[in-house]
Amino acid sequence: MTDRFRLSTAGQVFRFIGGVCILGFKVLFGPSDSLSAKRNRNRLLSEIEVSFADLLRERAGRIHSNEGKGLPRAFDYAAVVMEFPEIRFRVIRGRGEIRVQVAPVHAGEDWHDLVLLWSVLATPEHPTPPAVHDSLDTIAKFLAEQWRVLVVAMGEGFPETEEKLRALGELPLKEQMALAKKDVS
Short-list 104, 107, 102, 75, CA closest to 90: 102
Q: What is the pLDDT of residue 42?
A: 86
Q: What is the pLDDT of residue 78?
A: 86
Task: Give the confidence band of 110 by pLDDT, cuts at 50, 70, 90.
Answer: confident
* Dihedral, 149, 151, 152, 154 alpha carbons, nearest 10: 120
Q: Report the pLDDT averaged over residues 81-109.
A: 90
The dihedral through the CA atoms of 49, 54, 57, 61 has a sign that is negative
Q: What is the pLDDT of residue 180?
A: 60
Q: Is-contact 90 81, C-beta < 8 A?
A: yes
Within-domain flag for 174? yes
Q: What is the pLDDT of residue 185?
A: 46
Within-domain flag for 100? yes
Per-residue pLDDT tens digits for 115-147: 989 988 877 788 888 888 899 999 999 999 999
Per-residue pLDDT tens digits for 144-171: 999 999 999 999 999 998 888 888 776 6
More confident residue, 107 or 118: 118
Decide: helix, strand or coil at residue 103. strand
Within-domain flag for 48? yes
Within-domain flag for 1? no
Q: What is the pLDDT of residue 25?
A: 60
Give yes or no for residue 105 having a pLDDT over 80.
Answer: yes
Within-domain flag for 112? yes
Residue numbers of the domain that contains 90: 38-184
Q: What is the pLDDT of residue 77?
A: 83
Number of domains in the chain: 1
Cα–Cα distance measured from residue 65 to residue 118, given in angstroms and rounded to the nearest whole number: 25
Per-residue pLDDT tens digits for 12-71: 766 777 776 666 665 555 545 567 777 888 898 999 999 999 999 999 999 876 655 555
Within-domain flag for 2? no
Q: What share of the chain is helix, strand, coil (3-state, %, to 5)?
A: 60, 15, 25
Within-domain flag for 32? no
Q: What is the pLDDT of residue 119?
A: 87
Cα–Cα distance measured from residue 71 to residue 74, given in angstroms and rounded to the nearest whole number: 9
Q: Is-contact 92 180, C-beta < 8 A?
A: no
Cα–Cα distance measured from residue 27 to residue 144, given in angstroms and rounded to the nearest whole number: 45
Short-list 24, 63, 69, CA closest to 45: 63
**110: number of Cβ within 10 Å:** 15
